[in-house]
Amino acid sequence: MTPGSTTHARPREDLHNEQELRALMVRYQAGEGEAVEALVARLSPPLLRYLGGPFVDRSDAEDLLQDCWLRIHRSRHTYRPSEPVLPWIFAIARHTRLDGYRRRRRIQSREVAPAGVLAEFSAAAPPDGGMAEVSRLLAALPESQREVIWMLKVSGMSLEEVARATSSTVGAIKQKAHRAYEKLRKVLEKERIRDRKTNSRVQAG
């Protein structure tokens, strides 16, 4: 990707256009089975990616996905056709993810010492190779900033939509994103310098 280019493949494109999603939600509220099938097919991949994150294994993420869809189903009357779909969906997914994290932490705290849980959590292996880089970079951020960056990256939502999904204000989300950008710059720079040193050693050797 060249820095001057003006077009990019955004995750949002996977989710199809907003009008289409709104129409499907209206049909879902009217009780149409085909709309459910279409929504599950379109929204499950980004939801699974969001719920899994870099620190949750696949089977746990799939359990969370099922729980999330049940919550969406129970709350479907709260969606209003005049409002965007993604913040509504991701707000429910965010709470499913938080509840899942708390549940996991509770179970782990019964099995091992709390300090051990934290160490284990931060050292957890990423679920697949493609996530290794993401997990390494996100691990450098505090939880609140990590959540914002993860949501922006996975869903392709705007800052305004992320603010809605997290019941926050645009100003607060912007502040978290900007702090995260600065930390990510530092981490990326460190990695670049390390890679260059390694390369020059290999060449010299």
Partner 1 sequence: MTAKRTLACKQVDGELDSVFGAPVGSLSEPARRHLAECERCRELYEWLLRAPARLDPSPEVCSRIRQALAASLAPVTPLPPARVTAARLAALFVFFLVGMLAVMGAGGVDRMTQLQILAMSGVLAGGVALLSLSLAWQMRPGSRHRVAVEAGVCLLSLAVLLAMALLFPWRWPEAFFRQGWMCGLMGAGAAAAPGAILFWLMIRRGSPLSLTRFGATLGAMAGLLAVAVLQFECRQQEAWHLLAWHGGVLVASVAAGAAAGRLAELRRARRNRPRAAGE
| One character per residue 48-87, x = contact with partner 1 (rule: CB under 8 A) | xx--x---------xxxxxx-xx--xxxxxxxxxxxx--x
Minimum distance from residue 114 beta carbon to partner 1 (Å): 19
Sequence-ordered strand ranges (E) for the chain: none
CB 89 within 8 A of CB 43: yes
Question: Residue 184 is encoded by which pair of tokens?
Answer: 């990510």
Minimum distance from residue 202 beta carbon to partner 1 (Å): 21
With tokens 């939801």, the residue in question is: 47
The answer to the question of residue 103 lying near partner 1 (CB under 8 A) is yes
* Dist CA 85 CA 90 (whole Å): 9
The answer to the question of residue 110 lying near partner 1 (CB under 8 A) is no
Q: Which of 55, 88, 146, 176 binds partner 1 (CB under 8 A)?
A: 88
Q: How many residues bind partner 1 (CB under 8 A)?
A: 89
The answer to the question of residue 20 lying near partner 1 (CB under 8 A) is no
Nearer to partner 1, 83 or 120 (CB): 83
End-to-end CA distance of the chain: 32
Q: Which of 99, 108, 124, 139 binds partner 1 (CB under 8 A)?
A: 99
What sign does the dihedral 101-62-168-131 (CA atoms) show?
A: positive
Minimum distance from residue 121 beta carbon to partner 1 (Å): 19
Q: ∠8-52-180 over CA atoms, to 5°? A: 55
Question: Residue 74 is encoded by which pair of tokens?
Answer: 């129970």
What sign does the dihedral 176-181-182-186 (CA atoms) show?
A: positive
Q: Which of residues 114-173 bind partner 1 (CB under 8 A)?
A: 128, 130-131, 134, 137, 149, 152-154, 156-165, 167-169
Nearer to partner 1, 117 or 131 (CB): 131
Q: Which of 124, 139, 140, 177 binds partner 1 (CB under 8 A)?
A: 177
